[in-house]
């Protein structure tokens, strides 16, 4: 019984510790960087080698500056990667744009 508890603990710990978030600040407009302009999920296949679609932050923000870009790998993303043996591994993303037009 104790071995089963240890195995269950290790599995749960591996899922919980598998989460990660990276946020890259491009400009200093931190006040505008609190609400994401575009959020979604990027779909990766075969252990992350093939991406189904690419996004251009400059095109999404159009005339406004790109303030920050954030990618995250949540518990659900990791769980989907585990149950598909790495064939499908999604990642969540958010792109933050400034409110004012770009200065030229």
- pLDDT value of position 31: 55
> N- to C-terminal Cα distance for the chain?
68
Specify if 103 maps to a domain.
Answer: no
DSSP string over 16-46: HTT-EEEEEE-SS-TTGGGS-SEEEEEEEET
Specify if 40 maps to a domain.
Answer: yes
For the beta sheet containing 88-97, the strands, ordered from the edge strand earlier in sequence to the opposite edge, are 20-25, 66-73, 88-97, 38-45, 50-51
Gap between the Cα atoms of 85 and 28, Å rounded: 40
Query: What is the number of domains present in the chain?
Result: 1
Specify if 8 maps to a domain.
Answer: no
Specify if 104 maps to a domain.
Answer: no
Specify if 65 maps to a domain.
Answer: yes
- pLDDT value of position 43: 79
Q: For the segment 54-96, what is each residue's pLDDT rounded down to a tens digit? A: 778 878 888 888 888 888 888 788 778 778 877 888 888 888 8
Specify if 60 maps to a domain.
Answer: yes
Specify if 1 maps to a domain.
Answer: no
Token readout for 58 is 């400059």
* Band of pLDDT at residue 40, cut at 50, 70 and 90: confident
Range of the domain at 47: 19-97
Specify if 7 maps to a domain.
Answer: no
CB hemisphere CA count around 102 (13 angstroms): 12
- pLDDT value of position 76: 80
- pLDDT value of position 30: 57
* pTM of structure: 0.68
Q: For the segment 15-35, what is each residue's pLDDT rounded down to a tens digit? A: 666 677 888 787 776 554 466
């Amino acid at each position: 019984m104790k071995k089963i508890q240890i195995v269950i603990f290790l599995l749960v710990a591996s899922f919980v510790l598998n989460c990660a978030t990276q946020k890259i600040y491009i400009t200093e407009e931190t006040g505008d960087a609190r609400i994401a302009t575009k959020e979604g999920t990027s779909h990766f296949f075969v252990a992350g080698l093939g991406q189904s679609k690419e996004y251009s932050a400059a095109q999404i923000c159009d005339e406004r500056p790109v303030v920050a870009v954030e990618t995250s790998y949540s518990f659900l993303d990791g769980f989907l990667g585990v149950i598909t043996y790495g064939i499908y591994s999604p990642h969540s993303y958010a792109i933050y744009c400034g409110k004012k037009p770009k200065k030229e």
